[in-house]
């Protein structure tokens, strides 16, 4: 099986790449060696697209996710993510909608959640404005 296919399967299955490569080698290679796997910026962008298809990441959270799961180092992740065409504000808005669809949440709580999700202050402010519209539309549907 090609390495690229294995990587995409790993992402879809939620497996950190380091674990996958470590188990694939099935040798005495250390986990640190598995973490040295080098992907191109284009490969990282494909992986990032898969992450974005599963959740509403902020730009910083996506960079952190790529690094956390052993795909690459911070600088390469920043390069890959910063050159993608993503509407980060839309992700913040969708994240607000997902929180509000589960239970009523105050604006202060929403702000805290979005800060934890690492959205920028500007994105958070606009997403909170979106929350007002979302709640108004929800009330009209009832």
Out of 58, 82, 106, a domain closes at 82
Identify whether residues 78 and 114 lie together within a single domain. no
In a shared domain, residues 29 and 78: yes
What pLDDT sits at residue 141?
35
* CA separation for the pair 142, 138 (Å, rounded): 7
- pTM of the prediction? 0.73
Most confident segment among 66-75, 90-99, 132-141: 90-99
**Over 90: is that where the pLDDT of 78 sits?**
yes
Domain end call among 61, 82, 103: 82
Is the pLDDT score of 11 beyond 80? no
> Do 111 and 51 reside in the same domain of the chain?
no
State residue 103's pLDDT score: 87
Last residue of a domain, one of 59, 82, 105: 82
For residues 46 and 10, membership in a common domain is answered with yes
Other beta carbons within 10 angstroms of residue 39's beta carbon come to 19
* Cα→Cα distances 108→66, 73, 76, 113, Å: 29, 34, 34, 9
92 and 63 belong to one structural domain: no
pLDDT in tens, 19-44: 555 454 444 444 444 444 568 899 89
User: Are 112 and 126 part of one and the same domain?
Assistant: yes
Q: Which two tokens stand for residue 41?
A: 């910026």
Cβ atoms 133, 98 nearer than 8 A: no
- Let me know whether 63 and 45 are in one domain: yes
Structural domain range at position 118: 88-141
- 37 shares its domain with 23: yes
52, 96: one domain: no
- Statement to judge: residues 9 and 66 lie in one domain: yes
Grouping H, G, I as helix, E, B as strand and the rest as coil, residue 14 is coil
Q: Same domain, yes or no, for 30 and 70?
A: yes
Phi first, then psi, for residue 123 (nearest 5°) are -65, -40
Domain count, the chain: 2
pLDDT at 10 over 70: no
Cβ proximity of 11 and 29 under 8 Å: no
Instruction: Say whether both 70 and 20 belong to one domain.
Output: yes
Asked whether the predicted pLDDT for residue 63 surpasses 70, the reply is yes
């Amino acid at each position: 099986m090609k390495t690229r296919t294995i990587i995409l399967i790993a992402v879809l299955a939620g497996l950190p790449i380091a674990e996958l490569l470590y188990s694939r080698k099935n040798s005495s290679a250390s986990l640190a060696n598995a973490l040295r796997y080098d992907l191109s910026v284009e490969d990282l962008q494909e992986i990032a697209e898969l992450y974005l298809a599963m959740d509403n990441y902020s730009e910083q959270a996506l960079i952190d996710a790529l690094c956390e799961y052993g795909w690459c180092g911070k600088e390469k992740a920043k390069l890959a993510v910063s050159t993608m065409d993503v509407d980060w504000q839309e992700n913040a808005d969708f994240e607000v909608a997902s929180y509000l669809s589960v239970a009523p949440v105050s604006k202060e709580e929403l702000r805290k959640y979005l800060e934890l999700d690492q959205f920028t202050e500007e994105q958070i402010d606009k997403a909170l404005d979106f929350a007002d519209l979302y709640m108004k539309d929800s009330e009209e549907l009832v």
